Amino acid sequence: MKLSALFKRGPSTVLGAATLIASATIGISFTAQAVEPELSSMAVAPDEVVTDRIIVKYKSTMAGANASAMSQTAIDRLAQTAGHRFKHMRRLATGAQLMKLEKRASKAELDAIVARLQQDPQVDYVEPDRLMQPMATPNDTNYNQQWHYFESTGGLNLPSAWDITQGEGVVVGVIDTGYRPHADLNANILPGYDMISDTTVAQDGNGRDSDASDPGDWSPAGACGAGQPARNSSWHGTHVAGTIAAVTNNGSGVAGVAYKAKVVPIRVLGRCGGYTSDIADGIIWGAGGNVSGVPSNPNPAQVLNLSLGGGGSCDNTTQNAINTARSLGTTVVVAAGNSNANAANYSPASCSGVVTVASTNRAGSRAYYSNYGSVVDVAAPGGETSTNSNGVLSTLNSGTQGPGSDNYAFYQGTSMAAPHVAGAAALLYAVDSGITPTEVETVLKNTARSFPGSCSQCGTGIVDATAAVNAANGGGNPDPDPEPGDGVLTNGVTETGLSASTGGELRYTLEVPAGASNLSFQISGGSGDADLYVRYGSQPTTSTYDCRPYLNGNNETCSISNVQAGTYHVMVRAYSSFSSVSLVGSFDEGSSGGGATGWTETNVTGSSGSWQHFTLDVNSGMSSLEVLMSGGSGDGDLYVRYGSQPTTSSYDCRPYRWGNDESCSISNPQAGTWYISIRGYNSYSGVTLQAEAAP
């Protein structure tokens, strides 16, 4: 049963390092050394963002939007809008620009800067360049049991998959702290790249270069924030890489899930974590995309593993990088997080198009720390080291600050679970080189086995490597029955008898005409638990929607206040199996309420900083409001706002271009008074201003 609406799916954190260990059928000796990475305390809650860097993505229509360098004029104008001075750092591989503030800003200051910059219509999005962290949880190691591969209760069911493939010919990119040369890894490591651009974070004396080795991510007390304790180096990326592809059948050490695959280490995490901007470039480079100033990756990865994350839902920069990787055919696997909370509130766990992995313990139940929620796709062994041997064992290094000698250690966390799944994905590519990221996710989800313990909201089950490989290799039936096309709702007509099993989705559309009002969608009746999602213009997802009541049971309503003409998409999703549910969408038809209105003002003139205000009364049922400013000399800026005079920070439209040629186009404008104003960026004269509302 779900919690009340207020507490249904709370915030979550991310990561943990997964490890791989000897199968019962392989005799491997090792010495496991206890380590305590103590990284979970570095998790950044959504309300604690502090940084001195922001990411600004301009719309492609703006001149110079994709330039590698910004003009000083553009930087000055950006600074004037934000009320802060900036330094341009570089263009990201996503096309966004990375800017540096004069000093670190608090969340409140960042929110204000972002809000002001986002009002510029030439800006696509603005967001802080957040630090992400690895999040392995503290552990000890006294035992050498590698249950997470072979045990029927909590394991990956891996040994039988190895009878078919060991991942030969597949490349996995590990986006993490880099790697340490290790006798149990070296043969499977390909050239990588250090993508860390900040020398303090890098801790190796330089910025970006071709050396992806890990110098250690230790930090003294207070280095990562006031009150933060000193931390030893975690060697997190080395642990993750060992789970994926440790050398196997060599008579020593541990085994890897896809032990004939190769690993490309991509270093993005160092002291105190790593910046979103570096991680995004790492994702694109790892998949074979272009990153300015960085040589091409000679070994593009079919699979990328991100056992890292931070507070806040998926940001645009990371999502765009993931989209690029998927377009290049790369599957992206991410950790759900270690905060025993909703993964929807952390990135990249909440990004679209990724395989988000929760962590299970040796009993096949959700690990006590693992995040959960609707964004989680599958679960995998991540361990619990309250008993050391119940953790996940993998390659490590003995150094507490700088590198020491090779060793092994038990870790626990979703960072440990994710590389189990990345390794399983590599096995799928090995048997079907043409498989797509979507197909990989589908196979992993549809062949996952049921949880032997309690694991609510942990995805479809624990990944079953053997079942997944058999399905991708032509056996089994991993594909669900094809979903029917969207049903079509008619205004006020109830659809009855709706039913679906857990995770199933029913989709509908409703066409809404111009002038409609009191639009609502409602589900009711029946048994089980259905969730209602509504979105204008495109299909909703579990993370993208205009309305989602998200209540227990089947009685949910979405009331739309700002009704737009066009197509509304509805999804009814089974939180748990439901049947005999009814769905209705309804609205009140609008009337024309009068015809078109408009006017033309000529020879409008103003001084720098001055305002000229005009109004236009718009009748109900109008489909468009067009405002055009043109001609004359100087530089005036056009502002349009409904209901009251605009200001430099409050408006519905502001093109904000050089000169006097600016326009605003408002679809389905509200009936009432619209204020149309010109403000002098510089002095201007002889300007013509036209406004028209039309049905």
Residue 14 has a pLDDT of 27
Residue 481 has pLDDT above 60, yes or no: no
pTM comes to 0.58
Q: Is residue 482 part of a domain?
A: no
139 in the same domain as 118: no
Residue 9 has a pLDDT of 22
Residue 484 has a pLDDT of 41
Rounded distance, CA 590 to CA 619, Å? 11
What is the rounded average pLDDT of the residues 207-212? 94
What is the rounded average pLDDT of the residues 107-121? 85
Q: Is residue 415 part of a domain?
A: yes
How many Å separate Cα 668 from the centre of its chain?
A: 32
Which residue has 């996995």 as its token pair?
A: 172
Task: Examine the residue annotation and report whether 389 is marked as an active-site residue of this protein.
Answer: no
**Catalytic entry in 129, 415, 637, 677:** 415
356 in the same domain as 265: yes
What CATH code is carried by the domain that includes residue 269?
Answer: 3.40.50.200
Phi, psi for residue 264 in degrees, rounded to 5: -105, 110
Residue 479 has pLDDT above 60, yes or no: no
Task: Examine the residue annotation and report whether 148 is marked as an active-site residue of this protein.
Answer: no
273 in the same domain as 182: yes
What long-range pairs does 217-224 form, CB within 8 A, spacing at least 24?
Answer: 217/134, 217/177, 217/269, 217/270, 217/271, 218/271, 218/400, 218/401, 218/402, 219/271, 219/272, 223/271, 223/272, 224/42, 224/271, 224/272, 224/273
Instruction: Name the band, by pLDDT with cuts 50, 70 and 90, for residue 137.
Output: very low
Residue 591 has pLDDT above 60, yes or no: no
Residue 85 has a pLDDT of 78
307 in the same domain as 280: yes
Residue 357 has pLDDT above 90, yes or no: yes
**Catalytic entry in 84, 88, 236, 239:** 236
160 in the same domain as 278: yes
Residue 190 has pLDDT above 70, yes or no: yes
Residue 330 near residue 289 (C-beta atoms within 8 A) = no
Q: Is residue 671 part of a domain?
A: yes
Q: Is residue 478 part of a domain?
A: no
Residue 505 has pLDDT above 60, yes or no: yes
Domain count across the chain = 4
What CATH code is carried by the domain that includes residue 680?
Answer: 2.60.120.380
Under DSSP, is residue 679 helix (H, G, I), strand (E, B) or coil? strand
What tokens were used for 158? 């891996």
Whole-number mean pLDDT of the chain? 83
What is the rounded average pLDDT of the residues 525-529? 90
Task: Examine the residue annotation and report whether 415 is marked as an active-site residue of this protein.
Answer: yes
Q: Is 659 exposed, middle or buried (0-12, 13-18, 19+ CB in 10 A)?
A: middle
566, 588, 610 - which closes a domain: 588
Q: How far is CA 260 from CA 86, 162, 169, 193, in A?
A: 48, 10, 7, 21
Residue 546 has pLDDT above 60, yes or no: yes
Name which residue leads in pLDDT, 561 or 436.
436
Residue 339 near residue 366 (C-beta atoms within 8 A) = no
Residue 218 has a pLDDT of 94
Q: Is residue 690 part of a domain?
A: yes
What is the rounded average pLDDT of the residues 57-84? 70
Residue 250 has a pLDDT of 83
Strand residues in 543-589 grouped as ranges (E):
556-560, 566-588
Q: Is residue 481 part of a domain?
A: no
Under DSSP, is residue 576 helix (H, G, I), strand (E, B) or coil? strand
The share of the chain scoring above pLDDT 90, in percent, equals: 49
293 in the same domain as 177: yes
Name which residue leads in pLDDT, 665 or 143.
665
Residue 172 has pLDDT above 90, yes or no: yes
Half-sphere exposure at residue 317, Cβ-oriented, CA atoms within 13 angstroms:
24
666 in the same domain as 566: no
Full domain range(s) for residue 524: 487-588
446 in the same domain as 422: yes
Instruction: Name the band, by pLDDT with cuts 50, 70 and 90, for residue 69.
Output: low
Rounded distance, CA 564 to CA 76, Å? 37
129, 160, 186 - which closes a domain: 129
285 in the same domain as 151: yes
Q: Is residue 479 part of a domain?
A: no
What CATH code is carried by the domain that includes residue 116?
Answer: 3.30.70.260
pLDDT digits (tens, 9 = 90+) for 49-61: 568 888 999 886 4
Q: Is residue 451 part of a domain?
A: yes
**Catalytic entry in 140, 176, 184, 204:** 176
Instruction: Name the band, by pLDDT with cuts 50, 70 and 90, for residue 5.
Output: very low
Half-sphere exposure at residue 316, Cβ-oriented, CA atoms within 13 angstroms:
16
103-114 burial: b if 16+ Cβ within 10 Å, else e: eebeeeebebbb
Residue 19 has a pLDDT of 26
pLDDT digits (tens, 9 = 90+) for 259-273: 999 999 999 999 999
558, 588, 618 - which closes a domain: 588
393 in the same domain as 286: yes
Residue 550 has a pLDDT of 86
577 in the same domain as 614: no
187 in the same domain as 121: no
